[in-house]
Structure 1
């Protein structure tokens, strides 16, 4: 018996735009496709998956590691599929049947308020999932402020949304930001704890009275500093509205570009807050997923030495 020999079937259908195969032994979808279309290369095969051109038993599948069992039928469509409108202001980092993880750029709303009717991450992702299934929906799990960039997640069903929101503190294992703040933070690391409340104008603030509001805890550590600015790594123990922005103001070092919470400068022409890491247990299979994005280059610009002047 030759264990290393892979036993795949010949195509059941071989029309110009459609190829169909029967699975003969357990494997994963990406490996199966690479074997069938070795000339295409890994990236091209992944593109077929991403565009929804591969189905298993007539169900479109985009997951690379989808398990295949003997007897299943894999269909590859090479004909032109519905063109997806360009996605602006965000990048999809991960997508499966339960969640979508993205990196959002500064300036893009996560979701519109009732008074707003502009392009949002929510609206674009809804259009994205409806390319494959017109009945699909997207559900908000948490938000990033318009002027905050970085990693965030959406659910693809109300059940998964509720599951994540109800167990958020236990599910999320790491949630860190980088913040460019005004002035030199004297204490290299520390913790800020307060009770947050909201004014009638929707501005958050720290109450002077214990148990008066929502408890918020923020840990920070200096990454880089000079006399004018400090780049902090910030870890959230709680996830309250505008928590980091209020706590940096409380610290006496408001976030650059955050006029609402005391900033006097805007050297990087945006707010200096970026959601750098999001790590969590997958709501369906319990797998630990971790997503990290680079520190925006503009956040590092205040620490670069001035360019030498040419004679």
Structure 2
């Protein structure tokens, strides 16, 4: 069981403890915190409290985080689009509509289910639900992912992500006509305080987020861009492009409702590069745009 200790600062005085804890750690949902409180896993100044407790300045909060429930992940035969594989790493092109790893209530049809049928040796650092998974892309984002087949490779790839040496370039189609050929968005991202399922640019309980972009092509109402991630926050490109006024076409969470005929955001992780954990050779892979994305581009080109 992992124990986390948190001190309450002046800005959170009189805030409900469940809201406070889900704000300071955006990995914790408010519902999850409430369950921990009811199970006696949260103490304030060495005393058990209720979910409606109002925080006071200098309160010492101790949270006992229970071990995740061990859930069996079933291997499922899938026709995976493997770009590279050796004894240490695997690079796969994830199709749009596929979830990367299982979660309670969604235990089949994920990339991990397919990987477990494809190869038996995946790193165990991320536990039973995420074997081999070093980084993720959203369900409706297509493109390349690196997978670790042992713990040595996993630790190396994660460190490269921390050191910002992994190349991750995405193609995106956005609403509006971006006038600048190049740009950098440096704006911290955290959990939206109103909608906990969404991320937003905020200075409260946020993490550094940097996205570079350049324009590939312009249309009357749209712009085709390539985005390069310097950091890897949840929904980063989707949130950043909305923040500067150019939301992704088809994005059901951050974009306008009236958009082009595409199922989910027009976003593709097309280029992935990293240093091989064992050989130290730099490897780079490129996956072409999926047919649906190409069809939408062709449609707006023909209407230009």
Q: Which band: TM-score by shorter chain?
A: 0.5 to 0.7
Q: Which residue in the other structure is 1:159 paired with?
A: 152
Question: Over aligned residue pairs, what C-alpha RMSD do you find?
Answer: 2.4
Structure 1 distance, partners of 2:296, 2:216, is: 11
CA deviations over 1:234-284 (Å, ceiling 9, x no partner): 011111111000001001111111121133314223320000100110011
Unmatched 5+ residue regions in structure 1? 1-83
Q: Which residue in the other structure is 2:266 paired with?
A: 272
The 10-residue stretch of structure 1 (186-195 or 214-223) with the greater mean CA deviation from structure 2: 186-195
Unmatched 5+ residue regions in structure 2? 1-74, 125-130
Name the structure with the higher strand share: 1
Q: Which residue in the other structure is 2:83 paired with?
A: 93
Structure 1 distance, partners of 2:150, 2:244, is: 39
Larger radius of gyration: 1
Q: Which residue in the other structure is 2:99 paired with?
A: 109
Structure 2 distance, partners of 1:100, 1:301, is: 32
TM-score norm. by structure 1 comes to 0.65
1:235/1:136 CA distance change after superposition, 3 Å? closer
Contact 1:172 1:278 in 2 (8 A): no
Q: What's the CA shift for 1:112?
A: 1.8
Select the structure with the greater relative contact order (CA < 8 A; seq sep ≥ 6): 2
Give the number of equivalent residue pairs.
Answer: 218
Structure 2 distance, partners of 1:225, 1:145, is: 26
**Which of 275, 297, 300 is residue 300 of structure 1 equivalent to?**
297
Contact 2:89 2:146 in 1 (8 A): yes
CA deviations over 1:209-235 (Å, ceiling 9, x no partner): 4x8510101111111111121110101
TM-score norm. by structure 2 comes to 0.66
